[in-house]
Amino acid sequence: MTPAPSPRGTGWLPALVAGVILSIGLIVVGLQSSGTSASLWRPSAAASGGGDAVPASMVTLPAEATEDFGRRLIAQTAELLGPDQADPQKRYINSRLNCGSCHLGTGTDPGTLHLFETDAHYPRFSGRAGQMTDIEDRINECMQRSMNGKPLPMDSVEMMAMAAYLRGLGRQWDAMPASARKATEPPAFKMPDRRADVDAGGEVYQRRCATCHGKDGLGLLATEDKGKGYLFPPVWGPDSFNTGAGMHRVLTAARFIKARMPLGEATLSDDEAFDVAAYINAQSRPTMIGQEKDYPDLTTKPVDNAYGPYADEFPLEQHRLGPFKPIEAHYKALKDAKAKTK
């Protein structure tokens, strides 16, 4: 396969895409600023022992913790919380991604990884954490994994602002007509029943992804100043998500890629999405410290979790690349047997 001639450097494609992104951004800003009212922060379910949180009406937010600041933190995370931030106290993340690199339109683009329904999902039990979690805990999971950083303190303005923004999205969602909630996405990813082919994925990558994310996967900076983050984010390497991130699981990545990538032209087949997800995740990226402690109950670990330990005898490579049906069948049989003995 000959890679398409790279428009990187000639300027037109990045400029065009930047224009589109910018105008979407402006519409989003417009939507947000018309609908922001002080929303209320509730302490984490885990921190408060699960469920018995202080009623929202009894907590007041600091004036700076606005929904608009929350939206900016999600759009410009690299700049505001990244390794080049001027205030060393605020350098919470080691990647140079934005939350919005995966949660498109700062979570307001209906479809895969949108954040409109997040408020309705919490508090809930997390198998990965092995305990009840609230929105704040979930934000910190993406901080430590997708953003390769450290958790935000629960009482920081940044945490309160992001949580307020997400709760505001929940209210917008409730008020939205069904037509506005609809995602314009290709049919959902269907897992091929085979081992992912990393080499075939490399070809898909060079043909369909490299023009934006770079032949080397390291992305394209927005300006010469690294501190401003990327126009096209890195899909591997030191500035990308770490091994503990959901995107590092081949099925999660394939679902996102099939639905959303190439940006503005998501036309990959299931096979292409599967193989290119495996290819990206076969490249080097930061390792999450302590990842082996995830999923205290190992039988709840997703079949495509890319690191051990596992509660089964399938080889590591099969957990990374598939085929996944035999692993799924194994756990289903265990569950059925357990149900029978009850």
Footprint of ligand HEC on this chain (CB under 6 A)? 17, 21, 74, 77, 97, 99-104, 113, 115, 117-118, 121, 135, 138-139, 142-143, 146-147, 162, 166, 208-209, 211-213, 232-235, 240-241, 245-247, 252, 257, 261-264, 268, 276, 280
CB of 333 to ligand HEC, least distance (A): 25
CB of 73 to ligand HEC, least distance (A): 7
- Element (DSSP H or E) covering residue 232: strand 230-232
Q: Which is nearer to ligand HEC, 246 or 322 (CB)?
A: 246
Q: Using alpha carbons, list the distances in angstroms from residue 3 to 108, 154, 203.
A: 33, 47, 8
CB of 337 to ligand HEC, least distance (A): 28
**Cα(14)–Cα(8) distance, integer angstroms:** 7
Q: Which is nearer to ligand HEC, 248 or 319 (CB)?
A: 248
Q: Which is nearer to ligand HEC, 103 or 319 (CB)?
A: 103
C-alpha dihedral (308, 309, 313, 314), degrees to nearest 10: -20
CB of 114 to ligand HEC, least distance (A): 8
Give 312's contacts (C-beta < 8 A, 6+ positions apart): 327, 330, 331
DSSP assignments along 116-153, one per residue: TTHHHH-SEEETTTTEEE-HHHHHHHHHHTTT-B-PPP
**Cα(302)–Cα(295) distance, integer angstroms:** 9
Which tokens go with 304?
A: 């495509």
Q: Which is nearer to ligand HEC, 285 or 337 (CB)?
A: 285
Q: Which is nearer to ligand HEC, 6 or 36 (CB)?
A: 6
Q: Which is nearer to ligand HEC, 79 or 337 (CB)?
A: 79
Q: Which is nearer to ligand HEC, 65 or 257 (CB)?
A: 257
SS3 257: helix
CB of 64 to ligand HEC, least distance (A): 17
CB of 256 to ligand HEC, least distance (A): 6
CB of 118 to ligand HEC, least distance (A): 4
- Three-state SS sequence of 10-57: CCHHHHHHHHHHHHHHHHHHHHHHHCCCCCCCCCCCCCCCCCCCCCHH
**Cα(135)–Cα(122) distance, integer angstroms:** 6
Give 197's contacts (C-beta < 8 A, 6+ positions apart): 275, 278
